[in-house]
Structure 1
Amino acid sequence: MKNNSVQTKAKFKDLMSHKNYLLFFTGQAISQLGDKMTLIAVPLLIYHLTNSPIQLGMAFLIESLPWIFLGPIAGTIIDRFNPIRILVLVDVVRVLLCLTLFMTDSIVMIYAIGLLSQTCSCIFAPARSAIFPDLTGKKLFNKGLTLSLTTGQLIDVLGPSIATLCISIFHGPRFIFVIDAVTFTISAVLTSLIVLQQASIQKQNSSFQSRFKEGYRFINKNKKVKFLLIIGLIRTIATSAIPILLLLQAKYIFGNELGDRYYGFLVSAVAFGIVTGSWIIGIIDRNTLRKNYIIFGIMVQSIIYAIIYYTDNIEILLGLFFLSGVATSGTLTPVSSFYAEYIPREIRGRVFSAINSILQIMGMIVYFTIGFFAEFIQPNKLLLGIGCLMTVSILLMTWIFKGWSLLRNDEENKSKKIVAN
């Protein structure tokens, strides 16, 4: 009982003694700032060059392809090699891609850079997920994850705002790509200083085909992970559609020049909502409420998207998108903590690669669909449709998979074990 008591008293300041976590946390925070600025710059650049929602959707669709074709095997590669070296190499490649993006005016080249950039990301993401628990240890995992996610989401607020300022100062989004290149350079240097125990890096002797299938087999057999993946698929409908629809909605209501500015504000509102929600979850810090955060969070998020259809007031829109961010936070830290607890270390890379690939396939479908329909349907009507679709989907999938009972039973069993000890 004593150990359990100590574990519940773990505090954020305890993370300061973990050098590896601090190096990783700092590098990721800096590189994420550049990423969020680029997230604003790239859609604006593409839309300014083409003035076409289809071309904008095509860019997002192309960026999904690596997750479909390389994503499934990325985890298999990661589980056989040193993930730290992989992370550093990927950052170096992304420095070169950002500098190339700064110098080109070709839409085809922009598409190609997006393809290569996401190829790097689909390798980076499972490697990052695989090593994260080793950076903090089990006792501080939830605190480390919450701090990283909350900081990243705070950067989600600052990034678009700084990007909007840079666009005004430099009369366009292009210089942002140089800033992003600098952030990746810093991230690569800091990550290279991380030293993990050799036991944390395991090599597999089974065949490539067997390792490739193992991630999908694990998802298929683990009911809770499968249901959480379903939640992720529903959430992906929003995360894939919103980058396109936010830009189109801002321009549709406020015009081109003012729309660019409000686009950054709306993105910041979502991110600020996620920060607020994650902070609240971190303060409460009760695992028995995770099912509430996840299921109710995505339901509230979908309802808000439907409500947005009825207003074009910027203050109300900012408030609604802020609330959507708060609701979205319920599917971030809680879901990640479930994954970390129930996916064995030795196959994390493969399982996370499988999860990412499946989610990206859904994202590609959404990008194509939104880009197509946005040519002749107003963005607020598409948001209404997305809200209705998500509401029906979460209710139906929770009922079919008995997700509420699945998550509740798991938490109740864990609580009983703690009391018994």
Structure 2
Amino acid sequence: MSAPARQATFREVFAVREFRPLFGTFLLSTAGDELARVALTVLVYQRTNSPLLSALTFAIGHFPWLLGGPFLSTLADRLPRHRVLIWVDVARAVLLAAMAVPGLPLWVLLVLLFFVSMCAPPFESARSALMADVLDGDRYAVATSLTNISLQLSQVVGFVAAGALVAVLNPSAALLIDAVTFAVSALWLAARLERRPAPLSEVPRQSFLHDTGEGLRLIRRTPRLLAIVALLWVGTLFGYASEGVAVPWADELGRGAAGLGVLLAANPLGVTIGGLVLARLVSPERRERLVTPLVVLSLVPIAVAGVVGMVAGPGAVSFATVVALLFVSGLGAAWVIPLNVSFVQAVPSAYRGRAFGVAVSGLYGVQGLGALVAGLTAEGVPASAVVALSGAVGLLAVAPVLVAYRRTQGSVASASAGEGPSGA
């Protein structure tokens, strides 16, 4: 009987030379992305005084994943991953520097922002795949937990920094600062990453479209991957639908704009704490077994919070109760961390960029769909009722997916990997 896997520490993860630039540039990129979106949103609103156009500007960052995420992510498998990371950051630095030029027509700014956002799928796919290449065993699980936690914090820092920089300087200056962060990121990656060949360099070259389709076919023909992706999408669809009615829900609870930030921050704070607990206090063997109870924990408090809002009405006690329940839901939402590890373990290295692109593209899609459906439903019923429904219906919808996921535990993608690029 093999010995249990040893739990890794943060020190051991940071001791890996290549992880440090991958992690550091991830923080720079995330904060920089939020800085650019906020700065340009302010700039568009200043010029047009249109809430719709400013909201569209803020949302542009999600479009590339939906429109071409799987296609663009193929670059992470067809080209050397270190080269993809470096040149994508160079491209973003150049594009953002161009956006900082004063007096550019609004349509030019929006087009440039779209191309900046188009850089995200290949960069994130290459970074995620390379992380699995440089970290083994439980170090990858701990690094994934650390990355998810830092994502929450860097987004907050990016938003706060953007607001401060736009207020003190101007949107163009903030965009130029963002360009500098990407230039620094490119230099850091170029100096510290090892040169590895492209994962598909030893495989007969197929068309770009064929390689893109292989990522989709790998997931479709591998029960384990199909179950993982289905759980990710369904759990996220209902777990985050309540964010689509956050504004009217805060009004119903009697807090309005003042309480909106607290309402939205409760879940990410729970994810942060839950991620730390999983990384440091839970053994590698137990993390995957905890996925099912954590998924349930992420949805039950949402249903209860909606009921509390309907029954208790506005007031300090009901608001505090709802915030506490959303925090507990965030603790449960840390299920995405061991699920991420299971996903990487089930994907052959040569497919990781494309498979990651498919998973994340669908993730962005269901997040938008959940918020849209929740918002449309709230046109006819109270926001609290929408929240209660999202949690309750989510529990019903995720049950068969959890059953399929548990049935595939312990299986691997080796059979699919052995088929090669044209095995579908």
**Shorter chain as normaliser: what TM range?**
0.7 to 0.9
Q: Tell me what 1:321 maps to.
A: 326
Q: 1:178 to 1:55 in 2, by over 3 A?
A: closer
Return the alpha-carbon distance in structure 1 between the equivalents of residues 268 and 107 of structure 2. 30
Q: Is the 8 A contact 2:9 2:280 kept in 1?
A: no
- 1:92 and 2:87 matched: no
**Quick one: distance in 2 between partners of 1:328 and 1:188?**
32
Residue aligning to 1:213: 213
Partner of 2:352: 348
Work out whether 1:233 is the aligned partner of 2:237: no
- Per the alignment, residue 294 of structure 2 pairs with 297
Q: What amino acid sits opposite 1:124 in the alignment?
A: F
Report what 2:76 is aligned to. Answer: 78
SS of 2:78's partner is coil
SS at match of 2:79: coil
Partner of 2:304 in structure 1?
A: 307
Aligned to 1:404: 406
1:270 aligns with 2:267: yes
TM-score by length of 2: 0.77
Q: CA deviation at 1:278?
A: 0.5
Unaligned runs of 5+ in 2: 413-424
The answer to whether the aligner puts 1:386 opposite 2:383 as a matched pair is: no
Q: What is the distance in 2 between the residues matched to 1:245 and 1:40?
A: 21
For residues 55-204 of structure 1, the aligned pairs below 5 Å read 56=55, 63-95=61-93, 100=99, 112=111, 115-138=114-137, 140-156=139-155, 158-160=157-159, 170=168, 180-199=178-197, 201-203=199-201, 204=203
Is the Cα–Cα contact under 8 Å of residues 80 and 196 in structure 2 kept in the other structure? Answer: no
Name the % identity.
Answer: 20
Structure 1 residues 352-383: Cα deviation after superposition (integer angstroms, max 9, x where no partner):
22222333343443354345445565543432
- Once the two structures are TM-superposed, the CA of residue 216 in structure 1 deviates from its matched residue by 1.7
Q: Which amino acid aligns with 2:78?
A: R
> 1:416 is matched with which residue?
none
What is the alpha-carbon distance in structure 2 between the residues aligned to residue 392 and residue 143 of structure 1? Answer: 31
Specify whether residues 252 and 123 from structure 1 end up closer, same or farther in structure 2 by C-alpha distance, changes over 3 A only. Answer: farther
CA RMSD of aligned residues (A): 3.9
Offset of 1:103 from its aligned partner? Answer: 6.5
TM-score by length of 1: 0.78
Matched residues, number: 399
Q: Distance in 2 between matches of 1:351 and 1:268?
A: 30
Tell me how far 1:344 sits from its aligned partner.
0.6
SS at match of 1:193: helix
1:417 counterpart residue number: none
Partner of 1:414: none
Structure 1: runs of 5+ lacking an equivalent? 412-421
Q: State how far apart, in whole Å, the 2-side matches of 1:8 and 1:142 are.
A: 12
- Counterpart CA distance in 2 for 1:373 and 1:101 is 40
Task: Give the CA deviation at 1:230.
Answer: 0.9
Shift of 1:196: 2.3
Report the CA distance between 1:106 and its aligned residue.
8.6
The one-letter amino acid of 1:122's match is P
Write out per-residue CA displacement over residues 78-125 of structure 1, whole angstroms, 9 at most, x where no aligned residue.
212122222233333434555638968998677656643432212222
Encode CA deviations 1:172-203: one digit per residue, 9 max, x unaligned.
Answer: 99976565444333323322223324356442
Give 1 or 2: higher helix fraction.
Answer: 1
* Displacement after TM superposition at 1:222 (Å): 1.6
C-alpha contact (below 8 Å) 2:22/2:127 kept by paired residues:
no
Call closer, same or farther: CA 1:132–1:280 in 2, change over 3 Å.
Answer: same
Q: Distance in 2 between matches of 1:325 and 1:83?
A: 32
Letter in 1 for 2:192: I
The separation in 1 between residues aligned to 2:155 and 2:195, in whole angstroms, is 32
Q: Give 1:36 shift.
A: 5.0
Cα 1:355/1:190, change in 2 over 3 Å: same
